[in-house]
Amino acid sequence: MMGRDFFITGTDTGVGKTWATVALMHYFKAQDRVVAGMKPVAAGCEWLDGRLKNEDALLLQRHASIALEYEEVNPYAFEAPVSPHLANDGNPVRIDRLMQDFKSLKNKADVVLVEGAGGWFAPLSQEADIADLAKALQIPVIMVVAIRLGCINHARLTFQSIQSAKVDCAGWLAMCVDPDMQKQEENIETIKNKISVPLLGVLPYMDGMDFALLAESIIKGKLI
């Protein structure tokens, strides 16, 4: 069974993109798809087994349908916890290399979920940002919106930027990150009414990781 690939972006850094990506991996695996996750660029990595590795990328590696080398999941791993264009240590991110890495991964899976770094305009190098990578890969975008104070503005601005880039947006996921947020449902409904692509699911707040539960929160039939 063939699938589609998606680029996962967020309204900011720390909005829950990785949890959303792994939830989507479980969603597609439940449909008997062979699924792989990719985090092309990661900063704030730690030395493990003789090389720099990123906690989020390791999650994507563990939850794939197939065994993958770490480098296949995370080609660019930087130690400093700063923007990738400042952390590259003389190894600047190249979009053309990432396109080849994506194609290699695509040969192994029905569905490849590519998680961006930071928000839509987070810089990857002096020349390119996340938006440039998404445009180069030519796959639909799923926008992760952290449901917290300011989310309506952030969601609308990010969606407007995706539209301006003429990239297909498959929909958005509401990631509930603030258990004490007032009018949470009303905020989600407002975004739903202001954005012209479907709400794909509302992922509930949780203290620990339960990706099967999060996957159940993704609306079936919205993603082909």
Q: What is the CATH number of the domain that holds 76?
A: 3.40.50.300
Does residue 89 surpass a pLDDT of 80? Answer: no
Number of domains forming the structure of the chain: 1
* Structural domain contains residue 166: yes
Write out pLDDT tens, residues 172-208.
999 999 999 999 999 999 999 999 999 999 999 988 8
* Structural domain contains residue 1: no
Question: Any long-range contacts for 86-93 (C-beta under 8 Å, 24+ apart)?
Answer: 87/43, 88/125, 92/125, 92/126, 93/40, 93/41, 93/124, 93/125, 93/128
* Structural domain contains residue 223: no
Write out pLDDT tens, residues 113-143.
999 998 999 999 999 999 999 999 999 999 9
What share of the chain has pLDDT > 90, as a percent? 84
> Does the active-site annotation cover 39?
yes
Does residue 169 surpass a pLDDT of 60? Answer: yes
The pLDDT of 100-104, averaged and rounded, is 97
* Structural domain contains residue 57: yes
Does residue 2 surpass a pLDDT of 60? Answer: no
* Structural domain contains residue 171: yes
Q: Which of 121, 131, 181 is nearest to 151 (CA)?
A: 181
> What is the pLDDT, as a whole number, of residue 193?
97
Q: What mean pLDDT is reported for the chain? A: 93
| Whether pTM exceeds 0.85 | yes
* Structural domain contains residue 221: no
Write out pLDDT tens, residues 39-76.
999 999 999 999 999 999 999 999 999 999 999 999 99
Q: Is 219 helix (H, G, I), strand (E, B) or coil?
A: coil
Range of the domain at 179: 6-216
Q: Which residue in the list 39, 108, 135, 192 is annotated as catalytic?
A: 39
> What is the pLDDT, as a whole number, of residue 80?
87
